[in-house]
């Protein structure tokens, strides 16, 4: 019986600890993100949520990697592949904005500045 009583007591203690780190600040995507699993900037959990990208005022869906603070994106250069079979990318400079698509229309936007 004492074990059963301890279990419910410990459960409420665990819940506040789990709830506290959920929202530490604004819910915005990371400053630098890549879709290539070999990249050090790859984050599968963030990508599963869905990240919207606006580059130079236009919403883009073909972004391979971005950096908000440095102001650039990488996109595929057509259908060209390198010798290892990976698509070649080019780096484009300009203002970048990112947001989580699962938060809807009023999602907080991460942008430089």
Residues with Cβ within 8 Å of residue 102, at least 6 apart in sequence: 49, 50
- Residue 27 pLDDT class (50, 70, 90 cuts): confident
- Structure confidence at residue 104 (pLDDT): 83
Task: Give residue-wise pLDDT tens across range 35-73.
Answer: 999 999 999 999 999 999 999 999 999 999 999 999 999
Report strand pairing: 96-100 vs 63-67. unpaired
pTM for the structure as a whole: 0.72
């Amino acid at each position: 019986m004492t074990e059963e009583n301890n279990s419910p007591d410990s459960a409420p203690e665990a819940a506040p600890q789990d709830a506290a780190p959920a929202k530490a600040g604004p819910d915005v995507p990371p400053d630098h993100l890549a879709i290539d699993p070999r990249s050090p900037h790859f984050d599968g959990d963030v990508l599963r949520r869905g990240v919207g990208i606006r580059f130079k005022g236009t919403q883009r869906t073909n972004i391979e990697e971005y950096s908000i603070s440095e102001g650039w994106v990488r996109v595929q250069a057509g259908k060209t592949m390198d010798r290892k079979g990976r698509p070649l990318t080019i780096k484009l400079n300009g203002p970048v904005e990112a947001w989580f698509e699962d938060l809807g229309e009023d999602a907080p936007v991460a942008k430089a500045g």
